[in-house]
Structure 1
Amino acid sequence: MVAGSAASAREILVKVIPRNAQGTVSGKLTVARVDDSSVRRDVPLYSGEATIDIPSDSEWTIKLDANGWWAEPQIISAAGAMAKVVLPAFQTGVVRSRFTVAANSSMPKIARLVVETPPDPKTPPEIPRHTTFECPVDDTGAWSCRIPATALDVAVVVDGFIPVYRWDLKADPARDTILSEISLRRGASLVAWLDRESAKSLTGLAKARLLRGVSSDPSITGERLAAPVAEATFGKRGGVQLAGIPPGVYLLEVTAEGFAPSRTYPVEILDQREAVLRHPIQLEPPLTLRLTIDPPADPNGAPWSIELRRNGDFGRRTDATPITVRRLENEPGVFEVRDQSPGRFTIEVADARQQFRVNRRIEITSAIDAQQTISIPLVRVHGSVTFGDEPIAARLFFGRRDGADRMIVDANREGSFAALLPRTGTWPVDIAFTGDEVTTNMEVVIADDDREIAIDIPDIEVTGTVFDASGERAAHADVDLMTKGDLIGPVGTRTNSDGTFRFRGVPAGNATLSARDRWTGEESQFVSVPVAEGVANHVELHIESQRKLAGVVTSLGAPVAGASVSAFPILEGGSTQVRATSDMIGKFELRIPVSTRRVLVNIRAPGRVLQSYEVAADDKPVVFDLAAQGGTVRVLYPTDSWPVILRRDGVLIPSIDLEQWAYEQGRPNSEAGSLVVPNLAPGMYEACLLASSKCVQRVVTANSVVEIDLR
């Protein structure tokens, strides 16, 4: 009898059953009351069995105390219906090793071996996850402990150090199992598991790579940031640890032969902590993309050519190397792409002459949407080109010379042309005069009910001279001219050997010009001039020397690597955007004109937020501490009123940064009249229509969703 009287007692039979060895377990059971552990007794085992009498309405813990054996403690209840309890027991073996620590660290006194299994297993493991065995450590770092002699994945855990994993460890009950020396180090780590079916299906090694959440950047810093932060191979039962990771937000990529790459994002790593993925990673078979181009042939009846590139996980840039695409000879217009994983892609479809080109973005999430039809409407248009009221031969680039959608059309000597375009509506057009280096651009509108276009190039010119930072005439400097802000984009030329330049065919209105030294990157301020027929304009552009604006990007006090930093020096007439990427310790440098006094800075940090600042341009490094979490803003506006002006706490967020961030967050501005931007830093947001004075303000907090209606 453990406690109480015989009348109130309940008899329970406990059988200890060996699981990994033959024979009978000898020893005793220690029985203790759950609500008062001081009430306890030892009950001997006879032939692996013991009978325990416990009072009614009580709960008791039973533990096995048998030399060379271990069993998971169990709780029994007198109130339940149980009269018999089975206690699975495992024969044990001794595991030994030795720790080493850095010179500035003291040797620990205790270590723990913690059993690890995949989270959310389909069937419970024999030895529960996180079962812990304590291991004393002596002054030399030697340690040992006794664990069940069955195959286990274990973490060697020492407080203040990164856990060290030993996959598929099996102690030998007959002799000590000696592990290699373990060097303890401080820092952060990540543990992930494959789901059971994926682990069983592997025919080779599965590999894990941890990548920074950064946009593609061709700079040296970008290349360093794109390199894996940590790499490791999964164990036999599907576990992996990546250690020595700086704090930050990352993407986990898992690859294995016969499976599509798996990507998990975001994965947040905190300093001096181990992160564990909540759910096992499920590997899927690779996808075969089937792309059908409609119509199946280009405007000249020849087969289309297509180029497919995977979009970066954190930016608009695409992979430099195109994906191999196979044209199906017996199915016109059909292309097949094998061994792909879900993701976002850019498809370029071009005719055989490379004069008709369209780009489309698609997102593939599963085998269901891996078959896609790319429809390319062919709209017939015709028209004429005149220069100063005289017909002129010219080459027209509908969509601009370097546009994603671009059609090259030649007008003959009479100025006449005919073309096929993929849509009606407004088109920016670059115009190159045949036999002349002069280029201009303008917008043309193609109506649904009127396919005739008259392109009238005004006989207006703008001339000027560029001076370098030393005051000398700048030969071969780049000069840009814009007549409608950034809606069409600039047209460019270069200065002659005497520093002069000339633009012809400039549309009437206001023209904004700037110059840039091709060798130093130094730029002039923007200069705006009125442009009209019969008005002579000669503009002087003075290139300025530059100086450094240094900064550090942090969040929650920790450096943020790989943040995209864009800045506009606040200068009269405007300025050119400059960009940088924060390095491994969050630092960046920008080059700005020496006359700059204040700078508009926008920072996009994957896994964090888009946050805007206006700062003084001085010699002191600026710390930009980003909010850890943001909210979502949905702006509704009249479809003919883009772009919308958005400010946070009175600081402008340029539309180019807004659109880029929305795209990087998986919310491209594809719906006319609506812009959805997730993960904007908390603050007071004001949205305004550029074409009117209408503005609406809303407060954004962390994890909030705010709608700003400008209609």
Structure 2
Amino acid sequence: MRTMLRRALPRVLGALIAAGPLGATEVAVDCGGYSGPIALVERAATGERGREWRFPRCEAALPLTPEPGEGALLHLDAAGRWAEPIASSEARSGGSRLVVRPAVEVRGKARFARRIPLPAEAFLRIRDAAETAEWKGWRVPCPVEPETVSCSVPQGRWDLALRLPGHVTRFYFGVEAVPGKAVDLGRVEFTPGATLVGRVVVEGRTEGGRPAVTLAPLSPLEGGRVALGTVSTTAGEKGDFHFDGLRPGEYRVTAQLGALLSSRPAVVVPEGMEVTMKEAVVLSRPVGLRVNLSPPRDPSGKPWTVVLIAHRNDREIEDMVEGAADLSGVWLREGLRSGVSYRLQVRTAEGARWWSEEEPWVLGPEGGLRNVEPGFEEVRGRVVLGKTPLAAKLVFGGEFKSVSVPLRSGEHGTFEGVLPRLGKWTVAVDSAHPTVKRKLDVDVARDGERGWVEIRLTNRNLQGRVVDEDGRLVPRALVTLQAKNSLDRNSRWIDGGAFEWEGLEPGRYLVTAATAGRQGGPVEAEAGEGAVPVDIVLRRERTLKGRVVTGQGVGVVGALVRRLASADFPREGLYVKARTDEEGRFQLPLRPGAVDACLAVFPPGMGA
């Protein structure tokens, strides 16, 4: 055994020595003929400086002990030399190496619109002036002294973007960096404010010239003011554009070039930050769309209404146009943007949403043709509450769905009309007297030449009162009923303080009430025979005020703040929300008696 250990030990030690120090990352380096001292500096993605490793000379492999942190970037620090930063994960896997190149100093005379603590650190982003690619994701640190700002770039011809946090970005295009000759940026004005950076793409360019880009404010932020009036600029040779000195707010960006049509992306600009648009502003040749409808008219004999919905993505609607088809069932629309995702919806002349496409489709560069066949099925039926006929409004498909067809039952509970199809439907039933508001699934079956359905509602009720803290009935309040473990909520204004809900499914419900400045509940109640009436006590509403800021203490505009669900009302967090104003401030209602609140914050363009 000892003999075996003596023989194995040299091999084990040799393997450990070859592998380097325990917990070390070995970085591959192309020194490019440089043999002087070198240092590697760890920086977070946000630019904060971390650990530093120094070596007496540049070598093909440099061990870093301890290992750099996950997600960090490794920057070169060597006199007169420059290297593109590499990610620590790439260095650890051997998938990338530092390529050392001659460095050229970039410097300017710093001027400040307001006093800031100095020295400070600005950051420089680089892009090859001959390319149309986006800016590099990493940033070169640039020390800022009372009168100077300086940093290094590699030899070449570059586009530069210089930014001091909280200040407007300064752009320099086509900068020639020649070894032995410093690049003079001249006077560099650091002005407080935000910058928006974007790009225009012209599809199938036939128009000459550069696109004009317009930035227009949307509606004011909650608690804030409109950011500024509409401003314009001209895109550069590569389609780049930027707007500087913006106040926080939400903006719409469009471009114009000849007869081309522009996409219309919206963007939120937080206070004092640089925002780079993820999607380009696209200019394309206008095209047309023809929709053929069969049958050519709706159930009343009137022309169909066609709605064309433009989608920015699978969920977000960017634009919507509508118009009536002609009597032959043809709907024509010119001046549409190709390359955009659209979805069609067909409505009756009275506004019933009769037919809808579930998935969007992309309009091609030659325009499009869609053939639509809305169905017709005559139906009849009846509605009963327990054993009693019920007069009610019936919405097949649901009130807010893409297909939504209203019918109405009379005092004998019977109804008849036309639906797009037979089969399974979700039906919303709404009756004022008695108070019934329900959704249930039904099956409309064929009965001869028509469809037939009987809608039977269980007749369970729930009663209660809305009172103030002294036990007096509240004259008018909004009462909301929500089944436990359900997202569906029913709300009604009640007068006189007493309420009764009928036509409920058996089970337990959460009841809340509210009036101006006061809230009550949730109170858990049972719907069913012999159920005990509940009292909802209204108490003065409290408000939680707060502010969302960046790591530098700058207010974040347009952040979504949600108050998460509580144990006694697990679905509430879906509804209680607010957006921050131009200073990053928000306020949310707190339930009476609440001693704490859990918030989720979703700032635009940043991690939650």
| TM-score where L is the length of structure 2 | 0.59
Cα distance in 2 for partners of 1:554, 1:140 equals 29
2:494 maps to which residue? 495
Cα distance in 2 for partners of 1:156, 1:483 equals 55
2:436 maps to which residue? 439
1:457 maps to which residue? 457
2:255 maps to which residue? 254
How far did residue 235 of structure 1 move? 5.2
> 350, 353, 359: which one pairs with 1:353?
350
Amino acid paired to 2:587? E
Amino acid paired to 1:480? T
Q: Residue 418 of structure 1 aligns to a residue in which SS?
A: strand
Contact 1:561-1:586 within 8 A present in 2 as well:
yes
Q: Residue 519 of structure 2 aligns to a residue in which SS?
A: coil
Q: Does 1:530 align with 2:523?
A: no
Q: Residue 326 of structure 2 aligns to a residue in which SS?
A: coil
Q: 1:472 to 1:120 in 2, by over 3 A?
A: same
Cα distance in 1 for partners of 2:203, 2:329 equals 39
Cα distance in 2 for partners of 1:588, 1:314 equals 29
Amino acid paired to 2:360? E
Q: Does 1:580 align with 2:591?
A: no
Contact 2:436-2:504 within 8 A present in 1 as well:
no
> 392, 399, 417: which one pairs with 2:397?
399
> 562, 565, 586: which one pairs with 1:566?
562
Alignment of 1:81-480 (within 5 A): 101-102=112-113, 104=115, 119-120=131-132, 184-185=190-191, 189=195, 194=200, 201-202=207-208, 206-209=212-215, 220-221=221-222, 231-234=232-235, 238-244=239-245, 253-262=254-263, 283-310=283-310, 316=316, 322-323=320-321, 325-327=322-324, 329=326, 331-336=328-333, 338-340=335-337, 342-343=339-340, 348-355=345-352, 357=354, 360=357, 363-367=360-364, 370-374=368-372, 376-422=374-420, 424-432=423-431, 436=433, 438-446=435-443, 451-468=451-468, 471-480=471-480
Amino acid paired to 1:353? E
Q: 1:530 to 1:282 in 2, by over 3 A?
A: closer
How far did residue 465 of structure 1 move? 1.2
How far did residue 537 of structure 1 move? 4.1
Q: Residue 283 of structure 2 aligns to a residue in which SS?
A: coil
Contact 1:548-1:589 within 8 A present in 2 as well:
yes
Contact 1:251-1:267 within 8 A present in 2 as well:
no
Q: 1:283 to 1:572 in 2, by over 3 A?
A: closer
How far did residue 445 of structure 1 move? 2.0
How far did residue 221 of structure 1 move? 1.8
Cα distance in 1 for partners of 2:571, 2:202 equals 56
> 506, 509, 516: which one pairs with 1:508?
506
Higher-Rg structure is: 1
Cα distance in 1 for partners of 2:469, 2:291 equals 53
> 535, 538, 547: which one pairs with 2:542?
547
Amino acid paired to 2:475? A
How far did residue 334 of structure 1 move? 2.8
How far did residue 580 of structure 1 move? 0.3
Cα distance in 2 for partners of 1:476, 1:190 equals 48
How far did residue 578 of structure 1 move? 0.9
Q: Deviations over 1:111-162 (max 9, x none)?
A: x9x99956349xxxxxxxxxxxxxxxxx999xxxxxxxxxx99989799985
Q: 1:532 to 1:387 in 2, by over 3 A?
A: same
Q: 1:284 to 1:101 in 2, by over 3 A?
A: same
Cα distance in 2 for partners of 1:361, 1:203 equals 40
Q: Deviations over 1:429-460 (max 9, x none)?
A: 22326xx3633324132166785322233444
How far did residue 467 of structure 1 move? 1.7
Amino acid paired to 2:426? W
Amino acid paired to 2:408? D
Q: For the aligned residues, what is the CA RMSD?
A: 5.3
How far did residue 514 of structure 1 move? 1.8
Q: 1:491 to 1:566 in 2, by over 3 A?
A: same
How far did residue 342 of structure 1 move? 4.9
Amino acid paired to 1:407? V
Amino acid paired to 2:335? R
Q: 1:269 to 1:447 in 2, by over 3 A?
A: same
Contact 1:186-1:272 within 8 A present in 2 as well:
no
Amino acid paired to 2:477? A
How far did residue 485 of structure 1 move? 5.0
Alignment of 1:3-42 (within 5 A): none
Contact 2:396-2:426 within 8 A present in 1 as well:
yes
Contact 1:523-1:544 within 8 A present in 2 as well:
yes
Contact 1:207-1:233 within 8 A present in 2 as well:
yes
Contact 2:383-2:390 within 8 A present in 1 as well:
yes
Q: Residue 283 of structure 1 aligns to a residue in which SS?
A: strand
Contact 1:562-1:581 within 8 A present in 2 as well:
yes
Cα distance in 1 for partners of 2:378, 2:463 equals 37
**Matched residues, percent identical?**
19
Q: 1:102 to 1:604 in 2, by over 3 A?
A: closer
Q: 1:437 to 1:531 in 2, by over 3 A?
A: closer
2:9 maps to which residue? none
Cα distance in 2 for partners of 1:483, 1:193 equals 49
Amino acid paired to 1:329? D
Q: 1:186 to 1:197 in 2, by over 3 A?
A: same
Q: Residue 524 of structure 1 aligns to a residue in which SS?
A: strand
Amino acid paired to 1:474? V
Contact 2:311-2:360 within 8 A present in 1 as well:
no
Q: 1:461 to 1:247 in 2, by over 3 A?
A: closer
Cα distance in 2 for partners of 1:572, 1:196 equals 54
Cα distance in 2 for partners of 1:478, 1:444 equals 27
How far did residue 525 of structure 1 move? 1.4
Amino acid paired to 2:404? R
Amino acid paired to 2:543? K
Q: 1:526 to 1:238 in 2, by over 3 A?
A: closer
Contact 2:197-2:274 within 8 A present in 1 as well:
no
How far did residue 365 of structure 1 move? 3.7
Cα distance in 1 for partners of 2:190, 2:307 equals 49
1:601 maps to which residue? 599
How far did residue 328 of structure 1 move? 5.2
Q: Residue 521 of structure 2 aligns to a residue in which SS?
A: coil
How many residues get paired? 461
Contact 1:569-1:593 within 8 A present in 2 as well:
no
Contact 2:340-2:363 within 8 A present in 1 as well:
no
How far did residue 475 of structure 1 move? 1.6
Amino acid paired to 1:479? V
Q: Residue 481 of structure 2 aligns to a residue in which SS?
A: strand
Q: 1:331 to 1:412 in 2, by over 3 A?
A: same
Q: 1:597 to 1:157 in 2, by over 3 A?
A: closer
Contact 1:483-1:507 within 8 A present in 2 as well:
no
Q: Deviations over 1:512-570 (max 9, x none)?
A: 322121x33x332122322224x254221112322222344456667543232222451
Cα distance in 2 for partners of 1:461, 1:376 equals 39
Contact 1:296-1:334 within 8 A present in 2 as well:
no
Q: Residue 261 of structure 2 aligns to a residue in which SS?
A: coil
**Structure 1 regions of 5+ residues with no counterpart?**
1-33, 37-96, 122-138, 142-151, 170-179, 610-625, 627-711
Cα distance in 1 for partners of 2:275, 2:415 equals 66
